[in-house]
């Protein structure tokens, strides 16, 4: 049930509308929130960068003031004169005096500048002593000489070097966090290094110059050294430690810019930085992004509120869709399922609605009405097809019976032809025997000419031979008469076969007409009659094949009829010869019977007998040839009869196939009627 609900068109439309409205509202809200957030970030980034640049410029001025102060000391002639005098005096006498004078001279520069906590002069020349004022301690000179920054000051050769806060203090221990500015001082006359000036500056005085500057709520500002460690930080314990935000590596030229970064605490911040002109330190300002876009959260809140309202509207629209679209479609689906089950009387009753759903329901009603009409027509067509199949089955049965009768008659014809061939062979053998006897008669006649003493014996032998000849001649006459009768019977059978073939031709034409009618009925039935149309086409093809086979059989039987007529004519021509032969034999028998009484006439009539015997030999030759022709015709007739029998068997197979097709057509018709009977049309 749940699966059907999710497959419903109304549910799908509800989900699509709900998701579309919600997605549009969410998209617009997120775009507005993102755009506002980006605008705020860009504006704050620009303003922060400008502020950082201004603060960096301000600090550059402060740092320059300390460098200028150190430069004044470097170019002060009085200072250098005091240093030279200290170098010229006895080391054991007057050192403290000049040291005190140098301290007093330095105080003139730092007096009134509360940001400078102390000044220390670290001697480079071993003949000089350390000088300190303020919180600086002279005894730290040797310790400071071993630091990295001290070596860097020597290498800079008079250029200022800014010193970040040290862990153990710079010149005063203990001391508050401070930075230092150091320079190498050279004698203005000999240009020899004398002291390294270290000016210690309170870090608080530097931080105070930008403590009132704010980049935004939660913003922080700090100064980083070249290694990215804190020089000045919001909290004192951060000083000297790596910054929480990583900045791009420092190049040759001063850098400034802004970027989004993640602090070591996992907070996303907007960072603006700028490099100082006086040293390779950078001023860093950070603002938490969450504080920047706090006002933009209202847009996000409004978005969620709008999304909730849109969801309610989408639900309301979805309910309307389910009511006015989903339910009618479900109803139409149920009606279609019922119609698919065979009930063609269902109707949707959608004439009340004038929208597309109503038109769809009206179309469904029209479709069911047309299907019902088609089912009724198909039912009637199925009944007609069933009747036609029954008639076709009956006609096929008759055709099959006729084919069986033709096959039986053809087999009888083939048997008669075979008998005729056998009798012809026997006649040929008798004729051959007659020829042998005729040769013996001729030999006897020659012997009578040679020796008249043997006339009696020859007469007796001639009498015996003539008796046998008469007997065999009588038998030959009987065989010839039987052959004529067989040929007449074969002619009559051939006529019967022709009549049967004419009847088969008529049946084939009727089958073709029935197939044409069945094709027309199948075409009227439309799609439901396609299978019956195929069966009708097969029946028509079988009828055409039957007609062609009958034509071939008719041609063969016609040929056999001509051959039989020719055989009858030859036998008719040969029969008088047989009669003449019988008369000659009888005459010869009378002569031989009177031989003993008319020995005197024997010599005179011997030549006549010889001539008669010669004529008889010629007659016997003609008879032998006729018998050979009869045997050949009989063999050909037998072969033709066998071919006709084969064609008849093929016709019988075709008829059986027609019967099977008729039965198949009857089965298909019954199945069609049974399938249509499943539909309820009333």
- Across 101-115, 378-392, 415-429, which has the greatest mean pLDDT? 101-115
Mean pLDDT over residues 71-98, rounded? 77
Q: How far apart are CA 41 and CA 66, in angstroms?
A: 37
Would the CA dihedral through 658, 664, 667, 668 be positive or negative?
negative
What's residue 659's pLDDT? 66
Neighbouring C-beta atoms of residue 42, cutoff 10 Å: 12
More confident call, 512 vs 102: 102
> How are the residues of the chain apportioned to helix, strand and coil, as percentages rounded to the nearest 5?
70, 10, 20
What's residue 280's pLDDT? 84
Please give the mean pLDDT across all residues of the chain.
Answer: 75
What's residue 252's pLDDT? 47
Strands of 245-354 (E only): list them: 256-262, 268-275, 282-288
At 5, the pLDDT band (50, 70, 90 cuts) reads very low
What's residue 160's pLDDT? 92
What's residue 630's pLDDT? 65
Q: Is the pLDDT of residue 678 over 60?
A: no
Global confidence as pTM: 0.44
What's residue 297's pLDDT? 64
Mean pLDDT over residues 352-366, rounded? 70
At 109, the pLDDT band (50, 70, 90 cuts) reads confident
At 506, the pLDDT band (50, 70, 90 cuts) reads confident
Q: Is the pLDDT of residue 112 over 50?
A: yes
Question: Does residue 267 contact residue 241 with C-beta atoms inside 8 Å?
Answer: no
What's residue 171's pLDDT? 53
Lowest mean pLDDT among 251-260, 460-469, 592-601, 608-617: 592-601
Mean pLDDT over residues 393-413, rounded? 70
Question: Does residue 174 contact residue 159 with C-beta atoms inside 8 Å?
Answer: no
Q: Is the pLDDT of residue 1 over 50?
A: no
Mean pLDDT over residues 80-87, rounded? 84
Q: Is the pLDDT of residue 42 over 60?
A: yes
Mean pLDDT over residues 74-79, rounded? 87
At 51, the pLDDT band (50, 70, 90 cuts) reads confident
Residues 6 or more apart in contact with residue 639 via CB below 8 angstroms? none
Backbone phi, psi, residue 18, to 5°: -60, -50
Lowest mean pLDDT among 224-228, 239-243, 561-565: 561-565
What's residue 184's pLDDT? 92
Mean pLDDT over residues 431-450, rounded? 70
Backbone conformation region of residue 263, classed left if phi is above 0, alpha if psi is from -120 to 50, else beta:
beta
Terminal Cα distance for the chain, rounded = 33
Q: Is the pLDDT of residue 71 over 80?
A: yes
More confident call, 470 vs 641: 470
At 131, the pLDDT band (50, 70, 90 cuts) reads confident
Q: Is the pLDDT of residue 327 over 50?
A: yes
What's residue 551's pLDDT? 80
What's residue 487's pLDDT? 72
Mean pLDDT over residues 455-474, rounded? 69
**Residue 243, both tokens:** 């910054």
């Amino acid at each position: 049930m749940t699966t059907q609900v999710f497959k419903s068109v109304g549910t799908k439309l509800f989900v699509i509308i709900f998701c579309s409205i919600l997605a549009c509202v969410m998209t617009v809200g997120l775009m507005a929130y993102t755009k506002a957030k980006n605008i705020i970030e860009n504006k704050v980034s620009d303003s922060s960068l400008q502020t950082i640049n201004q603060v960096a410029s301000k600090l550059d001025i402060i740092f320059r003031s300390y460098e200028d102060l150190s430069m004044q000391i470097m170019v002060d002639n009085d200072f250098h004169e005091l240093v030279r005098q200290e170098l010229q005096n006895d080391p054991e006498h007057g050192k403290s005096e000049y040291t005190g004078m140098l301290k007093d001279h330095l105080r003139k520069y730092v007096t009134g500048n509360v940001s400078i906590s102390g000044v220390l002069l670290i001697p480079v020349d071993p003949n000089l002593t350390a000088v300190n004022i303020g919180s600086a301690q002279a005894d730290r000179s040797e310790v400071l000489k071993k630091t990295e920054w001290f070596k860097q000051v020597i290498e800079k050769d008079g250029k200022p070097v800014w010193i970040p806060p040290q862990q153990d203090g710079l010149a005063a221990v203990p001391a508050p966090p401070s930075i230092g500015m150091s320079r190498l001082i050279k004698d203005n006359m000999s240009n020899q290094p004398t002291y390294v000036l270290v000016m210690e500056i309170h870090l608080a005085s530097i931080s105070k110059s930008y403590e009132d500057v704010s980049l935004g709520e939660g913003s922080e500002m700090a100064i980083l050294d070249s290694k990215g460690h804190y020089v000045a930080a919001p909290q004192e314990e951060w000083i000297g430690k790596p910054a929480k935000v990583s900045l791009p590596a420092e190049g040759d030229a001063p850098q400034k810019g802004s970027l989004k970064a993640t602090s070591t605490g996992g907070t996303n911040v907007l960072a603006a930085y700028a490099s100082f002109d006086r040293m390779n330190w950078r001023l860093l300002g950070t603002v938490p992004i969450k504080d920047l876009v706090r006002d933009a959260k209202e847009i996000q809140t409004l978005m969620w509120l709008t999304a909730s309202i849109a969801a309610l509207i989408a639900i309301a629209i979805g309910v309307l869709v389910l009511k006015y679209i989903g339910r009618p479609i479900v109803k139409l689906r149920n009606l279609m399922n019922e119609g698919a089950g065979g009930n063609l009387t269902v109707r949707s009753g959608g004439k009340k609605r004038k929208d597309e759903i109503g038109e769809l329901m009206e179309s469904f009603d029209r479709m069911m009405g047309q299907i019902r009409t088609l089912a009724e027509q198909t039912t009637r067509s199925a009944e007609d097809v069933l009747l036609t199949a029954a008639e076709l089955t009956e006609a096929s049965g008759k055709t099959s019976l006729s084919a069986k009768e033709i096959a039986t008659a053809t087999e009888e014809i083939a048997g008669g032809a075979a008998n005729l061939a056998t009798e012809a062979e026997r006649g040929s053998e008798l004729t051959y025997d007659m020829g042998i006897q005729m040769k013996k008669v001729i030999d006897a006649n020659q012997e009578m000419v040679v020796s008249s003493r043997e006339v009696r014996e020859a007469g007796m032998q001639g009498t015996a031979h003539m008796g046998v000849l008469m007997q065999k001649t009588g038998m030959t006459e009987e065989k010839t008469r039987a052959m004529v009768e067989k040929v007449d019977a074969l002619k009559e059978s051939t006529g019967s076969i022709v009549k049967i073939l004419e009847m088969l031709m008529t049946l084939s034409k009727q089958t073709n007409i029935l197939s044409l009618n069945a094709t027309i009925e199948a075409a009227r039935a439309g799609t439901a009659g396609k299978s019956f149309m195929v069966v009708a086409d097969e029946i028509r093809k079988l009828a055409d094949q039957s007609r062609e086979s009958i034509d071939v059989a008719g041609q063969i039987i016609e040929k056999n009829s001509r051959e039989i007529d020719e055989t009858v004519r030859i036998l008719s021509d040969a029969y008088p010869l047989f009669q003449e032969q019988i008369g000659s034999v009888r005459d010869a028998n009378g002569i031989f019977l009177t031989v003993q009484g008319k020995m005197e006439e024997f010599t005179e009539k011997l030549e006549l007998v010889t001539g008669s015997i010669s004529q008889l030999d010629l007659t016997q030759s003609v008879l032998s040839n006729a018998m050979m022709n009869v045997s050949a015709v009989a063999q050909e007739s037998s072969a033709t009869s066998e071919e006709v029998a084969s064609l008849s068997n093929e016709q019988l197979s075709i008829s059986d196939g027609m019967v099977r097709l008729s039965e198949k057509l009857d089965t298909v018709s019954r199945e069609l009627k049974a399938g249509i009977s499943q539909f309820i049309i009333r």
